[in-house]
Amino acid sequence: MKPMDSSQATLPRLLPGEKIVFVRHFNNNSSGNKPSSLHELYRLARAETSQQVGKFGPVLASQTLEGHRGSPELRRYEAIFGRDSLRVALDLVDRYPKLTKATLVRLAELQGVEKNIAREEEPGKIIHEARDPKNDAMARRLSKTQGWDWPYYGSVDSTEEYIRTLVAYCNSAQDRLAFLNGEYIGRDNKSHTMAESFISAVDWMTGKMDSNKDGLLEFKRMNKGGIENQAWKDSWDAYCHEDGKIANHHHGIASVEIQRVAYDALLDAADFYKKHFDRVSEAKQLKARASRLKRTIMEHFWTDQKGGFFVLGTDRGKDGVLRQLSVKTSNMGHILRSPTLLDEETPRASTRRQAVIRQLFSPEMLSVGGIRTLATNEYRFRPGAYHNGSVWLWDTYLIVQGLDAHGYHGLAYELERRIRKVIASTKKFPEFIRGDVDTTEPALNTQVVDVWDEQNQRLNRVEQPPQEVQAWTVGAIVAMTSRRHTLGHSARYPSRRKFENDVLKSIKS
């Protein structure tokens, strides 16, 4: 370990049993110029013009600002990530359909064709990330220290996002039939059509759910050196109980937002099967499965504690019985993004919808730059932590989309305003910002801090600088500039408008 240098920044709060073992100050200066989301999108897509976006495949997950060579800390994700590229492709499907199409085709080419523990590959599964060990030092290091092989498939939600993105593209594309019949060479060196790829992805999803006694989409790594939390919050300490105890990784863990994505993917696939494949019976089965999953979400992922909220997820005790991870996180806001999960005008749906929104806009969750990943009054909250208190702009933007879909346009605009403030203040498109309390300006981490966690017997990086240009963030900003608000529920239902005004009055600017 290098000697610690803590003279230039405030050290983070330590939890019981932790001690700081490494601190390094980090220069996080920007160029000082006003950033352009379109320019950065072109760079992420390796394009020079708008017409070239998509010509060279999916976007990279991140990059440094132009002219910044950057340290390795700022170049961790200059690769294709399944979840990341699909999020951007879905947000920009109307504006950049060529990018969406190219993303789908490339991920189909990389789609799993066999079971392989080192890669965590399974037939039909979409990658977590693709790197080339020949020219990627990060790939070589992960292979050596963690036993990964490439491409790596340690993500439980990339496949569902792939299903949803393919449906969204086909719903708007004029070349839908040609696209579905289009052929590509898969990892098995055989020719496949995009329609076959879609069906294979659906089969992986439903097979995964069939293997679960509660019908959930859980993650549990196959490779003992693989990612423990195979969701977007993939820090090892991101999934925990109210008392801070880490979730039980010996059994599967179900994240609430992944169940939401699976629910929507099931409905999308059902409509697609009926409309384009004439597989009416299977479509009915997919819709029935979605209905069962909805009931499970409402039963096992909701708590009436602390004003009511959707919990982070579930793990299992030694007996295999589901246990709630009853902590307040931004994940609850992803439920709003589903068009039907909370849209009914029933007392239960209305009560839960309003409870979630109140939680998101509470002082514990709402920060100057958006929604915190973890509430300030939770055990593991630290404002600079990667997933335990920071604010991710794409995460907040997804909540914006959910609010807008339910007609809460005023609250959506309020979060958009905060997102834009981050870009204007930092002059970057950062991966995340700090979730500090009682601050009026967005701030970035300026140090790397590692602690030794005695209770869990492992190192924990509790602060690190964000990537300077994150594809998710860029995609969200580009989407915000072209998004059109439609007449929503708050106009049709005065009670929603009154509720929204009450929430807006209660928050600080």
pLDDT at residue 339, as a whole number:
85
Q: How wide is the angle at C-alpha 214 spanned by C-alphas 212 and 215, nearest 5°? A: 65
- What CA–CA distance (Å, rounded) separates 450 from 146? 19
Q: Does domain 51-327 have CATH number 1.50.10.10?
A: yes
DSSP 378: S
Q: Is 402 in contact with 380 (CB distance < 8 Å)?
A: no
Distance CA 194, CA 217 (A): 24
Q: Whole-model pTM? A: 0.96
Q: What is the pLDDT of residue 67?
A: 85
**What is the rounded CA–CA span in Å between residue 170 and residue 164?**
10
pLDDT for 45: 98
The span from the CA of 302 to the CA of 256, in Å, is 10
Contacts of 203 (CB under 8 A, 6+ apart): 123, 124
- Distance (Å, rounded) from C-alpha 406 to C-alpha 379? 32
**Residue ranges of the chain with per-residue pLDDT less than 50:** 1-3, 6-7, 486-488
User: Which tens digit of pLDDT belongs to each residue from 63-100?
Assistant: 999 888 778 889 999 999 999 999 999 999 999 999 99
Q: What is the largest CA-CA distance in the chain?
A: 67
Residues 6+ apart with CB under 8 A from 441: 368, 425
Rounded-to-integer distance, Cα 260 and Cα 310, Å: 11
Amino acid at 374: L
CA-to-CA distance for 457 and 237, rounded, in angstroms? 12
Domain edges within the chain? 1-30+342-509, 51-327
Beta-ladder partners of 25: 447
pLDDT at 181: 97
